[in-house]
Amino acid sequence: MGLCSLFLVTLLLLTSFAVCQLEEFISIDCGGTSNYTDKSTGLAWISDSGIMKHGKPVEVQNPSGNKFQYQRRREFPIDSRKYCYTLVTEERRRYLVRATFKYGNLDDGDTYPQFQLYLDATKWATVSIYDASRIYAKEMIFRAPSNSIDVCMCCATTGSPFISTLELRPLNLSMYATDFEGSFFLKVAARINFGAPSEDVVRYPDDPYDRIWESDLIKRQNYLVGVAPGTERINTTKKIEIETRENPPVKVMQTAVVGTKGILSYRLNLEDFPGNARAYAYFAEIEDLPKNETRKFKLEQPYIADYSNAVVNIAENANGSYTLYEPSYMNVSLEFVLSFSFVKTRDSTQGPLLNAMEISKYMPIASKTDRQDSNFVNAFRFLSAESVLKNEGDPCVPTPWEWVNCSTTTPPRITKINLSRRNLKGEIPGKLNNMEALTELWLDGNMLTGQLPDMSNLINVKIMHLENNKLTGPLPSYLGSLPSLQALFIQNNSFSGVIPSGLLSGKIIFNFDDNPELHKGNKKHFQLMLGISIGVLVILLILFLTSLVLLLILRRKTSQQKRDEKGVSGRSSTKPLTGYSFGRDGNIMDEGTAYYITLSELKEATNNFSKNIGKGSFGSVYYGKMKDGKEVAVKTMTDPSSYGNQQFVNEVALLSRIHHRNLVPLIGYCEEEYQHILVYEYMHNGTLREYIHECSSQKQLDWLARLRIAEDAAKGLEYLHTGCNPSIIHRDVKTSNILLDINMRAKVSDFGLSRLAEEDLTHISSVARGTVGYLDPEYYANQQLTEKSDVYSFGVVLLELLSGKKAVSSEDYGPEMNIVHWVC
């Protein structure tokens, strides 16, 4: 009685699990017109007509007939948008998601489609259709990063993007767990049932997780070819014990192939390889071997030599026959063409056996849009009924929504919002203040109400259009002090109160017409405050000039030679060093300042020079953060003795007058304790060389970004050659001396101690300072250094930008070793 009760309880638990599992399945018939149950599998399918509002259902033309879910497909427009299905998930639970595609016969004039498939921001696959009768299935195994995930189609190169079905299957417990699942998805490349009795796939209900196991009898180009002679198919009806982590279905484990001549070998192509993979082999001894018979074999695969020494003895490894043994290869590098063999050992009496295998590629998880940016733009979608705001998927990747622009940083940030005349109603979402990368905001021509939210953190915003709305309340005082603001339009609203004085300074384009309750404030009060301010400034100027005169007198009393020997500077950290130059009319011009920074301040900012971020011709470079929060790059001179103190100060004075948006600005300097140090603005995105030659795929530059960088660098060099008087020849133009700021704009660096060309000279002669591969060949011959030398080096930089190859490489160019010879 007890045994019978235990059996009934176990059966009840298994039945309950199967029912729960089935209820959690999501099966979407894309393009379908109604909901139904597939009689062959018992799976319930729902139409996407209430889920997807874009695209149109299209009848599949195929005379061979289809399953019901392949009678129609959903086809999307050919445009720059992405079209996404959002699937509800349970955060941190593992799932299998499957998208299938069946196109059917072509209509006259049509071409087979090719487009991109994305899972959230991660590229999943390139869908290329070239066989009308085939059902193309793409599967990904992932641990849910949040409570939903997006499956998106976009970027068609031929034909229209489309989809036939979309399925989501929850997995159990630790199935397919890896050490890398926080950073990688698993893209299924192969799941094969060996020894299958027919070409039919095995799936639900035979597999409770509805994985699709393809038969090894399927005939397809480059699929399981190179089969060894003597390969035979075997099967059993006995139950196989499969209680292991991946739980392959019993039906799959009841069939196998055996190498009767001592070897099993196969060859197949793996989509999107080479790459790193997780591979599973499934073995179960399904023959009744006599006691004196053994089955031992090894894997022979040159790319995974570490695993080739292990001997597989199925019955021994699995603790008996008819029991699953599941070795896995956690992280193995595989080529596009996978050739593998199982070979019996010398002491084995039976040939190798294989029941099934799975191979999945590790796909790096791409960064989605910054969460705070995403939350803000999603809030706007509830302010309008227009379909243009009903966008699916991530705001920036793989393609941006049509009303936003995004940066190329990781993670992407939203830089522009254009919602002019979109019939927006309600208050501007309060999360706007988190959009720190925003440069343009266009909300004009709507029916927005209420007061302005806090926008004091929008330090990069340049243009704001808020006109023609119903906004009320005072204008916040911080609007006049936003550091990058260039234009503000608020006309035809109902703002009230006093206009902040910073908006009336003339530095900002400001239009506030048709706001009757808005005024400029008390004129007398303004004049009084202006007079007080001018008086204070005059007093401060007198004190400064007096201090400067006293300091000059004091410095004249101190011998320059004695100061050099002591190596100690008497400057204050608040004293600026002013650079002068002669204008074309011969008059002296004051063109810029570089502040003196004490060595103790630099040690504090750099944590005692602990974070080295590079090394240039001047010396080592360290990251630092000043007390005011400003991030800096601190360059220490390798050989301070090569410059006298006065010579160094003169050089800094000359550098302090060079100001251009495409040149890395000099902030300050230090000459103390025999140290010569230059302090520059920190460039957050490093060097151009890193982005071209050393970065991961997530940081690759598109063509527009490359064009922008080339233009920025060219403007910086042009300013050195023609905008400075006397002109400056850089002498070491290369990709590692072109830096990228937080907005991916290029700035030329390391022109710090370049020689200044005489105004009336066309060239200078100097010791070679450039880098091999970038130097003008004529310079080697005549030692004449001109602006043309920089132009030649910049040409090499352009070749690197276009080709992605290094300037010098024996691997790429052979004995010539140079990209210029390679191109010519």
Do residues 605 and 625 lie in contact, with contact meaning Cβ atoms separated by under 8 Å?
yes
In the annotated binding site for ATP, the residues are: 635
Do residues 240 and 195 lie in contact, with contact meaning Cβ atoms separated by under 8 Å?
no
- Cα 323 from Cα 668, distance rounded (Å): 73
Per the omega criterion (within 30 degrees of 0), is the bond before 290 cis?
Answer: no
* Interstrand relation of 447-450 and 470-473 (parallel, antiparallel or unpaired): parallel
Do residues 376 and 413 lie in contact, with contact meaning Cβ atoms separated by under 8 Å?
no
> Half-sphere exposure (CA, 13 Å, Cβ side) for 366?
21
* Interstrand relation of 296-300 and 311-313 (parallel, antiparallel or unpaired): antiparallel
- Radius of gyration (Cα) for the chain, nearest Å? 35
**369: exposed, middle or buried (C-beta count within 10 Å: 0-12, 13-18, 19+)?**
buried
* Interstrand relation of 631-637 and 619-625 (parallel, antiparallel or unpaired): antiparallel
In the annotated binding site, the residues are: 635
**478: exposed, middle or buried (C-beta count within 10 Å: 0-12, 13-18, 19+)?**
middle
- Cα 655 from Cα 747, distance rounded (Å): 15
Q: Which residues lie across from 637 on neighbouring strands?
A: 619
User: Which amino acid makes up residue 334?
Assistant: L
Do residues 85 and 48 lie in contact, with contact meaning Cβ atoms separated by under 8 Å?
yes
Do residues 83 and 116 lie in contact, with contact meaning Cβ atoms separated by under 8 Å?
no
Whether residue 790 lies in the annotated active site: no
Do residues 100 and 136 lie in contact, with contact meaning Cβ atoms separated by under 8 Å?
yes
List the one residue out of 186, 173, 215 whose CA is nearest residue 357.
Answer: 215
List the one residue out of 679, 625, 632, 613 whose CA is nearest residue 652.
Answer: 679
Token pair listed for 336: 């596009």
- Cα 433 from Cα 503, distance rounded (Å): 19
Do residues 103 and 167 lie in contact, with contact meaning Cβ atoms separated by under 8 Å?
no
Q: Which entry of 48, 732, 776, 790 is annotated as an active-site residue?
A: 732
- Dihedrals phi, psi of 728, to nearest 5 degrees: -120, 130
Interacting residues of 463 by C-beta distance below 8 A, sequence separation 6+: 439, 440, 441, 442, 486, 487
- Cα 358 from Cα 190, distance rounded (Å): 5
User: Which amino acid makes up residue 61?
Assistant: Q
DSSP of 231-277: EEEEE--S--B--STT---HHHHTEEEEETTSEEEEEEE-TT-SEEE
- Cα 139 from Cα 168, distance rounded (Å): 10
Catalytic residues: 732
